[in-house]
Structure 1
Amino acid sequence: MTNDLSTARPDTFLLGGDLPVRRLGFGAMRLPTGTFQGPPRDPGTGVAVLRRAVELGVNHIDTAWFYRRGTVVANELIRKALAPYRDGLVIATKVGPLLAADGVPRGEAGPGELRRLVEENLDTLGLDRLDLVYLRVGGMGGPGGEPVGERFAALAALRDEGLIRHLGVSNVDAAQLAEARAIAPVAAVQNSFHVHDRDDPLLAVCEQSGIAYVPFFPLGGGHRPIDAARVERVAARHGASAAQVALAWLLSASPALLAIPGTGSLAHLEENMDAARLRLTEDDLAVLTG
């Protein structure tokens, strides 16, 4: 890979004001299976991927209690691979969705159910306190349309008990974020965002407020796929892959943005992590963003 240096960008972010994390982290969703309804993956490979991710400098791992397929559970893989956890490793998780019989998260937990979900995360990860817990709202649909205050207050109470260090929200609009922030500090927002799905106004809010912005679908997916032709054109200039270009664009988009690409493959992990070295030029950005 060739590197065209442009404006220097920070490589770390102070999550919640006190947890320094590298801006290129790791998402655990694809460790148990490639899709929610796909076959289980080999847990031994998942353990190897996690250990290699930390060797490569990852200190921010994003997971969820519902990342599982059959007997393969992302949180249990994280515990097996990395416990006892090294100092400085930040593990974020999500609660809210409930799994249907087919293994797809469809229903949403009420305020009274969130303690159980938080305690399941603590148990499966082998932790006494969770670094960051997102309230994931809206099911499989887009953000907005429902209040979050009662459920977020339930998580804030668990934070006051010492079970959670920082709180986040996921799949939210501006009104929902404001509602949550009126109850307790929000350390991170996790919404759909990538090089060709970049219309979320909450990124600017996060920048102004010192809140981490953590995209899901960083390499495409969701309701607006990546325009592969444009990304591949830039990738050819750098001798890089399309995934590396998409990740490099995210890191250039905002100093508040944390990328968490996920994979169940050691080769893809190495490729994704190498994206941190890629610097995009102004011409590259013009091609990517039109």
Structure 2
Amino acid sequence: MVDHVWRLGGDLPVRRLGLGTGGLVGPGYWGPRGSRAEARALLRTAVERGVTLVDTADNYGPDLAEELIAEALHPYGDRLVVATKGGVVRTGPDRWHVAGRPEQLRAACEASLRRLRLEAIGLYQLHRFDPAVPMAEQLGALAELRAEGKIRHIGLDTVTVQELREALALVPVAAVQNPFNILERSSADVLRLCEERGIAFLPYYPLGSGALAREGAAAVSAVAAEHGAGPGQIALAWLLHHSPVLCPTPGTGSPVHLAENLDAATIHLTPRERAVLDALAP
């Protein structure tokens, strides 16, 4: 049986299949995609369908995704966990730079608290390590914010297994966000370490960012046909079956795609189907 609940940091229960908010903003994570009313409605529908983990970032928009979350879902209640990120400053569509000095991270976190209307952020993720700032200083800033009660748990985005080991020697890490999906498994070593240490792994591009239509399409489609499902639903179901620490948060701006994504949690893959899908990538 697949356990559909994970406890972030050991104490914060979330449903493993959540919602990412990159699909609520424009191309290149810049500006709006549709109307604010449509975005708010999609967020509310997700929570009504049982989503308890909403993943965002201060540079989505920038600022816009966090504002929409607050407009749609505040007050949040006890079950909903909003995860956001800081440490990257977006200057245009697909244009950004890292900003990991301690004072920058503190300012970013406090700005997210204001936009989200939160006293404490459930999961605050360092969006990238800044190569110009010692890791200890960057994580030290997050540890201070945690000690002050402004964040509950620390996460990391886009790390190597060595960086994760070094980070764990400095602070508790509750979650990692790296690319991982049915066709792209270059972070398998990071996933193994997360499994060993009880760290959630939030795979980004969980649907393969269009690759399902190009690679492995026949095998995925064949499994999908057995379940009366779509290939994307099978890709999400595979993640939920592959490891208990995988917590995919696919993003979308479409109510239809949202429903399809969330329905993936009801799909039970047989051992034979899992073996076929496991063989699609090294």
Per the TM superposition, whether the score is higher than 0.5 is yes
1:73-122, Cα deviation, whole Å (9 max, x unpaired): 1111111111111111111011111112x243421003221111101110
Aligned to 2:200: 212
- Alpha carbons of structure 1 residues 52 and 250: separation in structure 2 relative to 1, 3 Å: same
Question: Paired residue for 1:85, among 76, 88, 109?
Answer: 76
Letter in 2 for 1:216: Y
Q: TM-score, normalised by structure 2?
A: 0.91
RMSD: 2.3
Structure 1 match to 2:61: 68
Q: Distance in 2 between matches of 1:66 and 1:235?
A: 35
Question: How far off is 1:34 after superposition?
Answer: 4.8
Deviation readout 1:119-144 (Å, 9 max, x if unpaired):
111011011111111111169xxxx9
Task: Find the counterpart in structure 1 of residue 125 from structure 2.
Answer: 134
1:187 to 174, 192, 195: 174
- The TM-score normalised by the length of structure 1 is 0.89
Aligned to 2:250, what secondary structure does the other structure show? Answer: coil
Aligned residue pairs: how many? 276
Deviates more, 1:27-36 or 1:183-192: 27-36
- 1:48 match: secondary structure: helix
Choose the corresponding residue for 1:55, options 48, 59, 62.
Answer: 48
**Aligned mate of 2:159, from 152, 172, 191:** 172
Separation in 1 of the partners of 2:138 and 2:211? 26
Q: Which has the higher contact order (CA 8 A, sep 6+)?
A: 1
Distance in 1, matches of 2:246 and 2:24, equals 23
* Residue aligning to 2:2: 9
- Report if the CA contact (8 A) 2:43-2:69 is conserved: yes
Residues 218 and 171 (structure 1), Cα distance of their counterparts in 2 relative to 1, 3 Å cut? same
Deviations 1:33-81 (A, max 9, x none): 2543586321111101100000000011101011116xx8111111111
Aligned partners of 1:151 and 1:169: how far apart in 2?
11
The amino acid of 1:108's aligned partner reads V
User: Percent of aligned positions with the same letter in both sequences?
Assistant: 46
Tell whether 2:19 aligns with 1:32.
no
Distance 1:154 1:63 in 2: 20
Aligned to 1:106, what secondary structure does the other structure show? strand
1:249 is aligned with what amino acid? W
Uncovered stretches (5+) of structure 1, i.e. residues with no partner: 1-7
Structure 1 residue ranges (4+ consecutive) displaced by more than 6 angstroms after TM superposition: 222-225
8 Å contact from structure 1 (residues 219, 226) kept in 2 = no
- The one-letter amino acid of 2:72's match is A
Distance 1:186 1:39, change over 3 A: closer
2:25–2:31 CA contact under 8 A, matched in 1: no
**Equivalence for 1:4:** none
Match of 2:140 among 153, 156, 162: 153
Query: Offset at 1:21?
Result: 0.6
2:193 aligned partner, one-letter code: V
In structure 2, the CA distance between the partners of 1:235 and 1:145, relative to structure 1 (3 Å rule), is farther
Report deviation, 1:221. Answer: 2.9
- After TM superposition, give the deviation of residue 216 of structure 1 in Å: 0.6
Aligned residue in 1 for 2:267: 278
Whichever structure has more helix as a proportion of its residues is 2
